[in-house]
Amino acid sequence: MSAAQPTDIVIIGAGFSGLYSIYRLRQDYRVICLEAGDGVGGTWYWNRYPGARVDIKSVEYSYGFDHDLAQEWSWPEVFSGQPDLERYANHVADRFELRQHLRLSTTVTRLHFDQDANRWHVYTSKGDHFVCKYIIAATGALSAPNTPPWPGREKFKGEIYHTTEWPREGIDFTGKRVGQIGTGSTGIQLAPIVAEQAQQLYIFQRTPAFSMPSGNRPMAPELERDWKENYADRRRQMLETYGASLTVLPKLSHDDCSPEERQRILEDAWSSQSAFQLMLVFTDVMTNKSANDAVSKFVHQKIREIVKDPATAELLCPKTYPIGGKRLCIDNGYYQMYNRDNVTLVDVNSAPIIAFTEDGLRTAEREYQLDIIITATGFDAVTGALARIVIEGIDGKKLADKWAEGPTVYLGLMTAGFPNLFMVHGPKTPAAQAQMITTGEWQVDYIAGIIADQEREGLSRIDTTEAAEAWWDEEVEMVSRATVHRFADSWYNGKNIDGKKGGFMIYVGGFPRFAQLSKAAVAEGYKGFVRS
């Protein structure tokens, strides 16, 4: 163990919010950013599976903090793939000279709060020991992989890969029998590419997802120019609407439209080259069952038109939850892929996966002989990354114990008993319900303002209270009751993982309301915080 190194702020994670935290805070404070990976980019460093691509236009899904960066950077495609997003993160790290603050391949293992000195002690997998006043956990909502604990993994003679731990050198599927478990956003992007190479691809599906064509295409000069000329306005609009610039907002409810109008609006949205447009066909898609059913049925109709085998098409039609209840997926030929002879859809809802075997996978129905198994089984979302660090707050209380029944937080920013520790995209923030780069920048600016106030006023500690957490919980539950999200089991409510507790993990009241409540708390004399 090396001697303790003093610093002011330790940032955990060098994804987009972690990198911006360095940029924003390094002028005024000593800042160190610890990152488990050997490169920057967070989500876009880890998720390097073929087909990984963002579902928001890249001109929008990019930093806004530096005018010249926004003007000079060019995205080759409208919805960038992982390699371009990782390249952008590296460019930002170099251009703004952030690397001197970075410690890569360094996993934070323990955080301990010294309540007499009001300092955090930070321990890492490399044996480092830092002492700092503030922690910024930019650990990402979707960073800790979820692999269900099927027995027999060590027996399997082939190779197993999780999509979020994809080897940098890639995988050659040529001539292989491949099994892919999971058909969420990740699985849907990956499968068509594997199908082109593999001898046989079995897709193990428990719940079908709603997906629509990504509409990806080379960046048109007019689109790029239009955004570059209007960046300031667009970013402001984005923060004032959903935290994402949904340019065509609906004017009519489902019941206001004639059947012909409904069909035309739905067809336009399907070919709009913007996934979110499908959720914006009527004003009440997320709140009115008949409006939601109309959109679901429209997607079912599209699936039945594309997929030639009627039994496969029926299995692919989601019927157990409303569209939008889980995040809508985007794809490049996902449904068309099922018309290939080398692709088989396996229903593991009716016959669940039981175990890995020497030669493949066994379900309740039969064994499948496989050379490679891909687990596209998602994430221990929102709380997973922090749960993997031993975090000891006031009186040595562990965060894992405090959150055993689910995370409790104030504004998604702080949790009582763990002073001076701030979370970006923490539990019960809008997270993936908004555009995470821009709203991450907003949250980092908000935290920087709080730290500046603490320092200017000569204070040593800021915490929140259980009463404030209870108030935020009520707000989170109240807004979730108004939308269809509660009718779907997903990472939004922790129900993607057996036994995970905690209720709603995401704030679905919209970014503007989240930001307004956050700003009001500070403006009203740090309401809900305890400062000393």
Q: Which residue's CB is nearer to ligand N01, number 139 or number 186?
A: 186
| Residue in 24, 48, 302, 327 binding ligand N01, rule: CB under 6 A | 327
Write down the least CB distance from residue 115 to ligand N01, Å: 37
Write down the least CB distance from residue 264 to ligand N01, Å: 27
Q: Is 437 in the site for ligand N01 (CB under 6 A)?
A: no
Write down the least CB distance from residue 458 to ligand N01, Å: 42
Give the integer Cα–Cα distance in Å for 124 and 128: 5
- What single-letter amino acid sits at 499? G
Sheet containing 134-137: give its strands across.
102-103, 31-34, 9-12, 134-137, 421-423
Q: Which residue's CB is nearer to ligand N01, number 352 or number 402?
A: 352
| Residue in 95, 206, 340, 486 binding ligand N01, rule: CB under 6 A | 206
Give the integer Cα–Cα distance in Å for 508 and 433: 7
Structure tokens at 158: 């082939």
Q: Where are the alpha helices (DSSP H) in 307-354?
A: 310-316, 334-337
Give the integer Cα–Cα distance in Å for 4 and 77: 46
Write down the least CB distance from residue 437 to ligand N01, Å: 12
Q: Which residue's CB is nearer to ligand N01, number 182 or number 360?
A: 182
Q: Which residue's CB is nearer to ligand N01, number 26 or number 500?
A: 500
| Residue in 409, 496, 500, 515 binding ligand N01, rule: CB under 6 A | 496
Contact 8, 133 (CB under 8 A): yes
Q: Which residue's CB is nearer to ligand N01, number 182 or number 393?
A: 182
Q: Other CB atoms closer than 10 Å to residue 184's CB: what's the count?
A: 22
Write down the least CB distance from residue 141 to ligand N01, Å: 8
How many residues at the interface with ligand N01, by CB under 6 A? 26
Contact 288, 253 (CB under 8 A): yes
Contact 32, 7 (CB under 8 A): yes
How do strand 343-347 and strand 200-205 relate by DSSP bridges? parallel
Among residue numbers 15 through 74, which ones bind ligand N01 (CB under 6 A)? Answer: 53-55
> Could you give the string, one character per residue 144-183, with x where binding to ligand N01 holds by CB under 6 A and - elsewhere?
----x--------------------------------xxx
Give the integer Cα–Cα distance in Å for 468 and 412: 11
Q: Is 429 in the site for ligand N01 (CB under 6 A)?
A: no
Nearest residue to the partner ligand N01, using Cβ: 184
Q: Other CB atoms closer than 10 Å to residue 72's CB: what's the count?
A: 11
Q: Which residue's CB is nearer to ligand N01, number 142 or number 385?
A: 142
User: Which SS3 state, helix, strand or coil, does residue 133 take?
Assistant: coil
Q: Which residue's CB is nearer to ligand N01, number 35 or number 331?
A: 331
| Residue in 491, 504, 507, 514 binding ligand N01, rule: CB under 6 A | 491
Among residue numbers 334 through 353, which ones bind ligand N01 (CB under 6 A)? Answer: 348, 353
Give the integer Cα–Cα distance in Å for 252 and 269: 14
Q: Which helix (H) or strand (E) holds 43?
A: helix 43-46
Concatenate the DSSP letters of all residues of 398-425 into one string. BHHHHTTT----BTTTB-TT-TTEEESS
Q: Which residue's CB is nearer to ligand N01, number 42 or number 182?
A: 182
Structure tokens at 228: 């570059």
Q: Is 407 in the site for ligand N01 (CB under 6 A)?
A: no
Among residue numbers 253 through 272, which ones bind ligand N01 (CB under 6 A)? Answer: none
Residues in the chain: 532
Binding segment for ligand N01 (CB under 6 A), chosen from 122-130, 363-371, 376-384, 477-485, is 376-384
Among residue numbers 459 through 478, which ones bind ligand N01 (CB under 6 A)? Answer: none
Q: Other CB atoms closer than 10 Å to residue 218's CB: what's the count?
A: 10
Write down the least CB distance from residue 274 to ligand N01, Å: 13
Write down the least CB distance from residue 487 to ligand N01, Å: 14
Contact 185, 164 (CB under 8 A): no
Q: Other CB atoms closer than 10 Å to residue 333's CB: what's the count?
A: 17
Contact 250, 243 (CB under 8 A): no
| Residue in 265, 303, 330, 374 binding ligand N01, rule: CB under 6 A | 330
Q: Which residue's CB is nearer to ligand N01, number 142 or number 195?
A: 142
Q: Which residue's CB is nearer to ligand N01, number 184 or number 412?
A: 184
Give the integer Cα–Cα distance in Å for 526 and 463: 10
User: Which SS3 state, helix, strand or coil, does residue 33 take?
Assistant: strand
Structure tokens at 525: 């004399």
Q: Which residue's CB is nearer to ligand N01, number 371 or number 380?
A: 380
| Contacts of 217 by beta carbon, 8 Å cutoff, 6+ apart | 77, 78, 273
What is the Cα 125 distance to its own chain's centre?
Answer: 25
Q: Which residue's CB is nearer to ligand N01, number 235 or number 327?
A: 327
Write down the least CB distance from residue 79 to ligand N01, Å: 8
Q: Other CB atoms closer than 10 Å to residue 390's CB: what's the count?
A: 14
Q: Is 244 in the site for ligand N01 (CB under 6 A)?
A: no
> Could you give the string, one character per residue 108-127, with x where binding to ligand N01 holds by CB under 6 A and - elsewhere?
--------------------
Q: Which residue's CB is nearer to ligand N01, number 10 or number 212?
A: 212
| Residue in 13, 41, 140, 378 binding ligand N01, rule: CB under 6 A | 378
Q: Which helix (H) or strand (E) holds 466?
A: helix 466-481
- What single-letter amino acid sits at 479? V
> Could you give the string, one character per residue 182-201, with x where binding to ligand N01 holds by CB under 6 A and - elsewhere?
xxxxxx-x------------
Q: Which residues bind ligand N01 (CB under 6 A)?
A: 53-55, 142, 148, 181-187, 189, 206-207, 327, 330, 348, 353, 376-379, 432, 491, 496
